[in-house]
Structure 1
Amino acid sequence: MLQRIWQKLSKPAGASKAFRVFYLVGNKVILLSASFKAGQLHCTCTEHLLADNAFPDNLLPLLATQPAGSDVAVVLDAQRYQLLPLDKPKLPAEEVIQALPWLIKDLCSLAPDDMQLDYLDIPGTPANPRINIVVTSKSALQQLCKELLKYKLNPQLIAPQEWLTMELMPTDALTRLLLIQQAGQPMQVQVIREGQLCFSRQLRGFDQFSDTPIEQLQYGLLDNLLLEMQRSMDFVESQLKLPPVREMLLMLAHPQLDDVVALFKKTGFNQAKALQLPVALEWAASLNAITCWPAIAAMQQLAFAKEPKHEAAG
């Protein structure tokens, strides 16, 4: 996301050995600080409350304490952007991004000239191509990049958290459904295949799922969730024309996650299991992945110089 802002405001990625990921979630920042030592990435995680003033001003005190020359990634939680599915405009590729602000102006609270946009093609819809659009405030992100440079920090990646789950998954041809929820956050369901995000949506009515004891889940809440899972799996086959879901991976902040997985299996969802970080993320083994997985995924891209998996930037 935001490649054109990077090209205008950021320095070229250099041989920096210090990395910082700022994950903005609710009223706090989860900060991952990392560096390479003896060829290994060493990472620590801290949490910082944000002041009440507006973003990005409330981030400045934390920026001021970071070592100059660090490469930086910023991850936005779902409160700081909108994700909108849309039929792909029948335009040349270079004109699509220019048309999007006017196509979504009635769906977005931002003025068209303050929209920073990016999009992903949705696989499996060749007859009626569709895209997922992410939009956030251009003026806020431009100010953020200027502040990063003022503190001699190198902005390399700004991304919505929903587009980072691919880092947690294998890139083979299996169709996988990911059910994910952090403490105090909405529950999301995503479908990923061959390293591509095919489907993503928030599930309403499950905000308290992770706070509900396992015994009480069986009084209707679990049945409602399983119904949503079946609807999502049916959508994958009937609408996206993808192969059936072969794995259902759960990353939930529920303290009895193993019991939740067992309940899924008991009701016939035998493909359900708890998500385990891949070998490529073994450097993050000591971190609480459920709390900070977006920051972990961004650090993987940042520290190992991976290319973002998106189509275009506005």
Structure 2
Amino acid sequence: MFNKSATIISLYKPMLNPIQKLLSKITRKKESKYQASLMMATHALYLLIYQNGEKKPIYAKSLEKQEEHSWNESIKAILDNEYLASARLNIVLPGSEYQMLIVDRPEVEEQELLNALRYSAVEYVSGNLEDIVVEYFDIPVQPSGQKKVNLIAANRTFIQDLLKLTLPKCNELQRITVDELAYLDLFREDHDASMLVVHQPKEELLMQIVKDGQIYFFRRIRGYLKLDTFAELEISHGAADGLSLEIQRSLDYFESQLHQPPVKRIYVAVQSPHQALLIDKIGENFSLPVLPLKNRLADELPEDSDNQGYFPAIGAVQELLHTIEQNELTPRQGEKLHEA
């Protein structure tokens, strides 16, 4: 139904959608001993669990999603873990279950904006209004004369099934998000702008610029669906230069249209044996550093894996840790899910 996924509990503002209303009725069973995240990519699922106060995960698991298996089967399999019963969980939705796009901001009061966006979403996404839940977050800087907002529309049935599967397994479900925002969580404290060029197998390449805990720019680049399978020859003779051109266009937009200081560094994450070559070739076209994203995350990665599928999962966990630091935890009252 959808080409992408959704932030159902936004880190930018209070949760305003039907899923939040449901979550608000769920009681925490006890204080959480662990912080966990579940990243769902099109090709695989990734689970990370951290003990409070520790940088390295105490548990990491990846599970390749078989095409013949439903999402429900894969989710059940990866959530079969004893730590989760004492864990607070964030979830990153698979790209097939949401769309994230920039739309015109309706001329309504702030408290009416989400509802107005929900009704206007039918202009931008496929499917019926009853089949989606929506969330939005603001764009920090816009070109002159524009008034846009970032809209996320998610498959309602998928979200409801996901809640039914995950809530009995974890101590507390904190947030459901998308990988664009999960990657942002990795750069929450950075005041300089960074560009991210990241790719998950079987998905379009994501390019975004982040600064001061906000997304200033994002786009999905077509033509790189199988970037992780490109051979050395393809990278050296066309792919790296093509990507460099897309990067330069994005940098130009950021500086000339948004009037922002230049990006300080470019981070690349591609699940490919030739990632180092790709980074080197892109780096030849720019004067700023082009770096592997995994270098920034070395302390938080599992001991025996640098699989870049874990990267947004690390971001989702860091959002949990930030919430603890900011003393933003609030107890939830009411009935359990099956009583809601």
**TM superposition score category, shorter chain reference:** 0.7 to 0.9
Tell me the SS of whatever aligns to 1:305: helix
Preserved CA contact (<8 Å) 1:168 1:277: no
Deviation at 1:62, TM superposition (A): 4.3
Q: Does 1:80 align with 2:97?
A: yes
1:6/1:41 CA distance change after superposition, 3 Å = farther
The answer for the alignment partner of 2:167 in structure 1 is: 149
The answer for the alignment partner of 1:45 in structure 2 is: 60
Equivalent runs, 1:128-207 vs 2, <5 Å:
128-151=146-169, 153-169=171-187, 171-207=189-225
Which AA in structure 1 matches 2:288?
N
Matched residue count: 304
Match of 1:34 among 44, 47, 50: 50
Preserved CA contact (<8 Å) 1:18 1:35: yes
Deviation at 1:23, TM superposition (A): 1.6
1:71/1:292 CA distance change after superposition, 3 Å = same
Preserved CA contact (<8 Å) 2:267 2:293: yes
Tell me the SS of whatever aligns to 1:284: coil
What are the superposed Cα offsets for residues 239-273 of structure 1, whole Å, 9 maximum, x if unpaired? 22322222222222232333323222323443322
The answer for the alignment partner of 1:90 in structure 2 is: 107
Preserved CA contact (<8 Å) 1:6 1:155: no
The answer for the alignment partner of 1:270 in structure 2 is: 288
The answer for the alignment partner of 1:212 in structure 2 is: 230
What are the superposed Cα offsets for residues 51-78 of structure 1, whole Å, 9 maximum, x if unpaired? 7465446533544554434322211122
Q: Distance in 2 between matches of 1:168 and 1:72?
A: 17
Compare 229-238 and 206-215 and name the one that shifted more: 206-215
Q: Distance in 2 between matches of 1:87 and 1:209?
A: 32
The answer for the alignment partner of 2:334 in structure 1 is: none
Q: Does 1:100 align with 2:117?
A: yes
- Percent identity (aligned): 22
> Which blocks of at least 5 consecutive residues in structure 1 are unaligned?
308-314
Deviation at 1:182, TM superposition (A): 2.9
Q: Does 1:21 align with 2:37?
A: yes
Q: Distance in 2 between matches of 1:298 and 1:283?
A: 12
Q: Distance in 1 between matches of 2:63 and 2:242?
A: 35
Preserved CA contact (<8 Å) 1:75 1:159: yes
1:29/1:249 CA distance change after superposition, 3 Å = closer
CA RMSD of aligned residues (A): 2.8
Preserved CA contact (<8 Å) 1:19 1:72: yes
Tell me the SS of whatever aligns to 1:109: coil
Q: Distance in 2 between matches of 1:174 and 1:65?
A: 39
What are the superposed Cα offsets for residues 31-51 of structure 1, whole Å, 9 maximum, x if unpaired? 223324xx4254222123457
Preserved CA contact (<8 Å) 2:93 2:178: yes
The answer for the alignment partner of 2:22 in structure 1 is: 8
The answer for the alignment partner of 1:232 in structure 2 is: 250
Deviation at 1:83, TM superposition (A): 0.7
1:260/1:103 CA distance change after superposition, 3 Å = same
1:270/1:213 CA distance change after superposition, 3 Å = farther
The answer for the alignment partner of 1:300 in structure 2 is: 318
